[in-house]
């Protein structure tokens, strides 16, 4: 089995679904944001504030380059990891790319209590989330080998749907 890359907007359940894959399919779990935080020894919000978004995106590209060399990994990608075409190309070459989607209302419920998503700090509302999602929609959809709508589904159901069961 190749790698499985879960992509999609913040709060679409990538981490939760990835954990089910780790437990039920014994895949190696890689959470991109966590890896970057571990490597940089500081939170995402601090990376953005001190070094800017481009620096963070460079870290993501470097990380995808490392990840693609492995196999049988379940990768929970940062919401913006597919914004660079070169990242998408590396993902597609080394695995299957699955897009998780959710309604803006669902996303807001899931992300509103966190302050470590710099793009949403000060923008915690349905209108902003829906607008940014719409801006990214074509990129997400063209990167995906499979698209899953997650609203109202459990992580286990989503996992089964991805595996075609």
Binding residues for ligand S3P, per CB under 6 A? Answer: 10, 33, 44, 78-80, 117-119
Handedness of CA 147, 142, 36, 94 (dihedral sign): positive
CB of 11 to ligand S3P, least distance (A): 7
CA distance 15 to 12: 9
18: three-class secondary structure by DSSP: helix
CB of 72 to ligand S3P, least distance (A): 21
CB of 34 to ligand S3P, least distance (A): 9
Q: Which is nearer to ligand S3P, 1 or 115 (CB)?
A: 115
Buried b (16+ CB within 10 A) or exposed e, 58-86: ebbeebbeebbeeeebbbbbbbbbbbbee
Q: Which is nearer to ligand S3P, 27 or 102 (CB)?
A: 102
Q: Which is nearer to ligand S3P, 70 or 118 (CB)?
A: 118
Q: φ, ψ for residue 147 (rounded to 5)?
A: -120, 130
CB of 80 to ligand S3P, least distance (A): 3
Q: Which is nearer to ligand S3P, 107 or 162 (CB)?
A: 107
Q: What would you report as the CA-atom Rg of the chain, rounded to the nearest whole angstrom?
A: 15
């Amino acid at each position: 089995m190749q790698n499985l890359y879960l992509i999609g907007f913040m709060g679409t359940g990538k981490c939760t679904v990835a954990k089910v894959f780790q437990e039920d399919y014994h895949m190696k779990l890689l959470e991109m944001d966590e890896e970057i935080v571990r490597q940089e020894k500081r939170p995402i919000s601090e990376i953005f504030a001190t070094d800017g978004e481009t620096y963070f995106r460079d870290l993501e590209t470097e990380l995808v380059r490392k990840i693609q060399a492995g196999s049988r990994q379940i990768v929970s990608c940062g919401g913006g990891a597919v914004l660079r075409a070169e990242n998408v190309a590396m993902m597609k070459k080394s695995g299957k790319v699955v897009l998780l989607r959710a309604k803006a209302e669902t996303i807001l419920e899931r992300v509103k209590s966190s302050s470590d998503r710099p793009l949403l700090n000060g923008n915690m509302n349905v209108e902003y989330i829906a607008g940014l999602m719409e801006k990214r929609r074509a990129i997400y959809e063209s990167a995906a080998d499979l698209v899953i709508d997650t609203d109202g589904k459990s992580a286990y159901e989503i996992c089964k749907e991805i595996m075609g069961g």
